[in-house]
Amino acid sequence: MADAISITLRNQQNESLGEIELPAVAFQSPKRRHLLYETVKMQLANRRAGTHATKTRALVSGGGKKPWRQKGTGRARAGSTRSPLWPGGASIFGPQPRDYSYRLPSSARRAALRAALADKVREGKLIVVDKIQLEAIKTKQVVQLMKDLGVTSALIIISAADKNLEKSARNLPHVRVLRAEGANVYDILRYEHLVLTQPVVELLASRVE
């Protein structure tokens, strides 16, 4: 595999500050389409609440009395008005609360994250800025940041908690801010551009090794 590759380092006004090297271990992975698919499927499964439920005969109220006597009426025998065959009755084999979560091997998760990062580099959708600083919690400041960087859909990954940036971006449907430890394949692929602050580059490299 090749050594580190270079990319333009910018400030939040999109002015060039020179070049920065991207560690090959994190940003030069081959395409892994199926692995990305499996990882996204795992993440979405893990987010499912699994609280769906239907009522069985034991859970439907009423129906304790036999509707009519067993023989002699000319009708089919019936033991309860809450039979699954009757309107208002129970459900047969309906969904019940369950846990959908599962985990891929850690090596596969790291490889998928490497592949997602490398895809952004190959597509020219990776932007590295030295830092992002907002003066206050103002959504319009993030709108201006996106305008300056020339992007409309972006995942911004920062190295540490930043209340001003995180709260300013949360009402924008096409912008999401994550801390480095929360970087994941689904969100990287979901947004068109990936914006990293300079310290995040090494943090991600150490995470996917």
Q: Compute the average pLDDT of residues 50-67.
A: 93
Q: Identify the band that residue 2 occupies on the pLDDT scale cut at 50, 70 and 90.
A: low
Q: Are residues 88 and 171 in the same domain?
A: no
Q: Are residues 80 and 110 in the same domain?
A: no
pLDDT score at 5: 84
> Count H helices, E strands: the chain?
7, 6
**Could you give the number of structural domains in the chain?**
2
Q: Which residues contact 140 (CB under 8 A, 6 or more apart)?
A: none
d(CA 148, CA 127): 12
pTM of the model: 0.85
| Residue pLDDT, tens place only, 162-203 | 999 999 999 999 999 999 999 999 999 999 999 999 999 999
Length of the chain: 209
Domain with 61 in it: 52-99
Q: Are residues 162 and 69 in the same domain?
A: no
Q: Are residues 70 and 34 in the same domain?
A: no
Q: Are residues 151 and 179 in the same domain?
A: yes
Mean of per-residue pLDDT scores for the chain: 94
pLDDT score at 1: 47
Domain CATH code at residue 36? 3.40.1370.10
Contact 21, 6 (CB under 8 A): yes
Domain end marker among 66, 99, 132: 99
Q: Which of 2-6, 52-56, 111-115, 133-137 shows the lowest mean pLDDT across its residues?
A: 2-6
Distance of CA 11 to the CA centre of its chain: 27
What are the b/e assignments for 145-161, b being 16+ CB within 10 Å? bbeebebeebbbbbbee
| Residue pLDDT, tens place only, 18-37 | 999 999 999 999 999 999 99
d(CA 181, CA 174): 21
Q: Are residues 146 and 204 in the same domain?
A: yes
Q: Are residues 40 and 63 in the same domain?
A: no
Alpha helices in 62-178 (DSSP H): 106-122, 139-149, 163-169
d(CA 17, CA 8): 7
Q: Are residues 104 and 203 in the same domain?
A: yes
Q: Are residues 92 and 134 in the same domain?
A: no
**For a pLDDT cut of 90, what percent of the chain falls above it?**
95
| Residue pLDDT, tens place only, 129-173 | 999 999 999 999 999 999 999 999 999 999 999 999 999 999 999
Q: Which residues contact 87 (CB under 8 A, 6 or more apart)?
A: none
